[in-house]
Amino acid sequence: MAVARPVGASSEGVRKSMQANKGRDTKPELALRRAVHALGLRYRVSVRPLPKVRRTADLVFTKAKLAVFLDGCFWHGCPDHHTKSATNSAYWAEKVVRNRERDAETDQKLTEAGWHVIRVWEHENPKDAAGRIADQVQSIRRTDSAHK
């Protein structure tokens, strides 16, 4: 019986484009990191909040136990900006579904482990997203100091 394998790139151009996709330090990530840093917050980059779980957050505030994920509109199925692929559309539609399921599972695992999670879409204004992140960090710090 033949084993179904994921379909590769539909053309040489698509293959080169896929290989050029960066796993970190993308333009939206760098813009978000600059905006968060400008607010005086310090964080770790591309860290597994839960070392035994193979999920890497884009920004991690270890003391506050806050993990920030910057999700790409295409890869994570943004309701406003996701576009359907013209070629290999069934494969890509399923890929986005799997990504969204994995995102939900990641959020659940982190929450169960006492972490806070913020998801930012790549199209969001970096300063606005940084403000949300700063508000959450401050809220966590206030809560933590109230419990001490």
Q: Where are the domains of the chain?
A: 24-146
pLDDT in tens, 43-61: 999 999 999 999 999 999 9
Residue 15's CB is within 10 A of a number of other CB atoms, namely 12
Encoded tokens for 139: 């809220």
Alpha-carbon distance of 76 to 101, in angstroms, equals: 10
Q: What is the pLDDT of residues 72-93, one digit of tens each?
A: 988 888 888 777 777 888 998 9
Q: How far is Cα 62 from Cα 49, in angstroms, rounded to an integer?
A: 8
Among 21-25, 91-95, 140-144, which is the least confidently predicted range? 21-25
Sign of CA dihedral 50, 55, 60, 61: negative
* Bridging pattern class, strands 44-47 and 66-71: unpaired
CATH superfamily of 24-146: VSR Endonuclease (3.40.960.10)
Q: pTM higher than 0.75 for the full model?
A: yes
